């Protein structure tokens, strides 16, 4: 069944329902649409972050602490 045929079938079915049920369907459809928008936004935000070079300077940052420093710190805490 095509997208348009599904839409038309849904409209025909909805037309036979009482107003209160139509309100429920409308609210649910809005909820689903918001979910889709949030997924789309999240996906694209992740993509932007992945492609971004904003934090590349962190890759060039000098190592301040070594593994030996951490071992020393752990031993001092014991």
| Higher pLDDT among residues 51 and 9, named by residue | 9
CA 16/CA 58 separation, integer angstroms: 61
CA 42/CA 37 separation, integer angstroms: 9
| Higher pLDDT among residues 60 and 39, named by residue | 39
Poorest-pLDDT segment among 9-13, 43-47, 61-65: 61-65
Segment (H or E) for 33: helix 19-51
Let me know if residue 35 belongs to a domain.
yes
Let me know if residue 8 belongs to a domain.
yes
Let me know if residue 24 belongs to a domain.
yes
Let me know if residue 66 belongs to a domain.
no
Structural domains counted in the chain: 1
* Selection from 17, 20, 1 nearest residue 9 by Cα: 1
Let me know if residue 57 belongs to a domain.
yes
Let me know if residue 18 belongs to a domain.
yes
Let me know if residue 70 belongs to a domain.
no
Let me know if residue 67 belongs to a domain.
no
Q: What pTM value is reported for the model?
A: 0.57
């Amino acid at each position: 069944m095509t997208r348009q045929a599904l839409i038309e079938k849904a409209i025909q079915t909805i037309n036979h329902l009482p107003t209160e049920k139509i309100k429920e369907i409308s609210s649910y459809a809005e909820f689903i649409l918001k979910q889709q928008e949030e997924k789309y936004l999240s996906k694209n935000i992740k993509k932007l972050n992945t492609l971004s070079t904003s934090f590349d300077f962190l890759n060039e940052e000098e190592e301040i602490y070594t593994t030996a420093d951490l071992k020393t710190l752990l031993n001092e805490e014991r």
